[in-house]
Structure 1
Amino acid sequence: MAQSKPERPDLLNAVLDAAGGVDHFEQVEWIEVVANVSGAFWSKKGYPKRRLMTGYVDTKRPRVVFYNFGAHLDEPHLRWIWTPKHLSVERANGTVVLSRSDPSKHFEGHVLSTPWDDLDLLYFSGYAVWNYMVTPFCFAWPGMSTRELGEHTEGGGETWRVLEVTYPEDFATHCRVQKFYYDHQDRMRRLDYTVDVIQGSGTVAHYVYDEKTVDGIVFPTLRRALNVVDGRPTGWSMVLINFHKIAVKGPEVRPNL
């Protein structure tokens, strides 16, 4: 008599548990990251020499503060502050050097070859880093919607489960509907999206590697974004992000975010 297959747990719950658990992540107030950013994409936007930058990611609200940001404005000790609705670049004494409200509207009509200014770079980098640090735990937040799709067979024959995530309209992210791929241990291996701030950008296949567990929370430390051409990811990196440091902090220690 054929044995029935064991019932699988709900994919979202399995993914959250595998990443460290929602209850555990809720104790995290902010995350410090040090990342080296490179890849062909930055030259297209006018920033061919990205470098090591430091960011402080607020996990309770969408806000990131960067230092050593690697933009054209290169004064020492500048604070590059990202929120979805307002960007600000400040000196140590609080003087505002640059600012922009409703920054997403500044991308209207932008294509891949459209040069960016420093605040465009800040908006894109801010929402991207914030998303990467709060994923997958943000999937359990109010307004988020998830559903499991059919299995995906990756090159090399690996079979991954696929979670489709629909974000609220006011959530700052690459695009409203994204797909996340998970291996047999419910660990993320890839995500697919388009980039709303770049018209006609096409689908991006974004792979993650080299997981590190930091105070019980699992983070990928290497990210590689590839263009998808004819349904297949290309072999060269549009964006490569190497996290040299990820540190999580609770409410007892909080920077000036």
Structure 2
Amino acid sequence: MNELLARVLDAHGGLERWQRYNKVEATMVTGGGLFPLKGLLQDSNPRRMTVWLHEERSSVTPFGAPDQRTMFTPDRIAIEKLDGTLVAERYAPRDSFAGHQMHTPWDPLHRAYFNGEAVWTYLTTPFLLVMDGVRVEETEAWREGPETWRVLRARFPGWMETHCMVQDFFFGEDMMLRRHDYSVNIAGGFPAAQLTFAHIEADGIRLPSMRRAYARGPDRRPVTDMLLVSIDFSAVAFT
């Protein structure tokens, strides 16, 4: 295993501990300017997110109505009642984003897909970097004020639905995640830089409880007056 990745996994709670768990649940509050750009209403109501750790699968409750939830897998996105009654579904959901740009409107299934793949990625980081087919290498370190952040570049396999196939993860001297860079392929491929803060510990796993995603400028720095997505996590529990 890559030396930096091994240290990062240990700092976040350890691979052995991670493998004991199957799911994580978290309360999340989201915001930012991306959703209004997509013609979607945005509110600060808390929602409960469930992520399966060793397969790409996730769900958020409520979604669209108090008695509805989403069910996400790479080949299908669905909105359903809490009793399992189907409200809407779409197979091969990534194909529905063909030709989209940052201002292209989304329907509820687009948003459900984005939520499913993005938050699955966030709540499994950094342990998803050892999943089948993921390749990592250390790249040039990043200087952030007085700090030096080490950077892992990940190349993801085709079976995994995530923002893009090549992403960069930045780690501080304590080996905790500080930043996550990617391109938002389902919205025209614009570059984004997501800053992470306020690390917490839940059942022995450490993770950031606050994420702020910005457009990324040509100098690789986040354009901090363009907040695209904010996510705050609380009440995190691994089972």
For the aligned pair, the TM-score class normalised by the smaller chain equals over 0.9
Identity %: 34
User: 79, 90, 94: which one pairs with 1:104?
Assistant: 94
Q: Which runs of structure 1 show a deviation greater than 4 angstroms over 4 or more consecutive aligned residues? A: none
Segments of structure 1 that go 5 or more residues without pairing to the other structure are: 1-8, 250-257
Structure 1 match to 2:194: 206
Match of residue 238, structure 1, among 222, 228, 232 = 228
Distance 1:92 1:214 in 2: 27
Which residue number in structure 2 is paired with residue 254 of structure 1? none
Matched positions, count: 235
Q: Say yes or no: does 1:68 pair with 2:52.
A: no
In structure 1, C-alpha distance between the alignment counterparts of 2:34 and 2:232, rounded to whole Å: 15
Determine the C-alpha separation between the residues in 2 that align with 1:88 and 1:190: 30
2:209 corresponds to: 221
What's the counterpart of residue 253 of structure 1? none
Letter in 2 for 1:178: Q
User: Aligned runs of 1:97-246 on 2, under 5 Å?
Assistant: 97-154=87-144, 156-201=145-190, 203-231=191-219, 232-236=221-225, 237-246=227-236
AA aligned to 2:197 is: Y
Q: Tell me, what secondary structure is at the counterpart of 2:187?
A: coil
Closer, same or farther: CA 142–93 of 1 in aligned 2, 3 Å: closer
Q: CA distance change for structure 1 residues 20 and 102 in 2, over 3 Å: closer, same or farther? A: same
Separation in structure 2 between the aligned mates of residue 193 and residue 93 of structure 1, nearest angstrom: 36
State the TM-score, normalizing by the size of structure 1: 0.88
Contact 1:42–1:50, Cα closer than 8 Å, also in 2 = no
Give the structure with higher Rg (CA): 1
Q: Matched residues in 1 for 2:211 and 2:189: separation?
A: 22
Structure 2 segments unaligned to the other structure (5+ residues): none
Alignment partners' CA distance in 1, 2:124 and 2:91: 24
Query: TM-score if structure 2 supplies the norm length?
Result: 0.94
- Equivalent-residue separation in structure 2 for 1:88 and 1:167 (angstroms): 24
1:88 corresponds in structure 2 to: 78
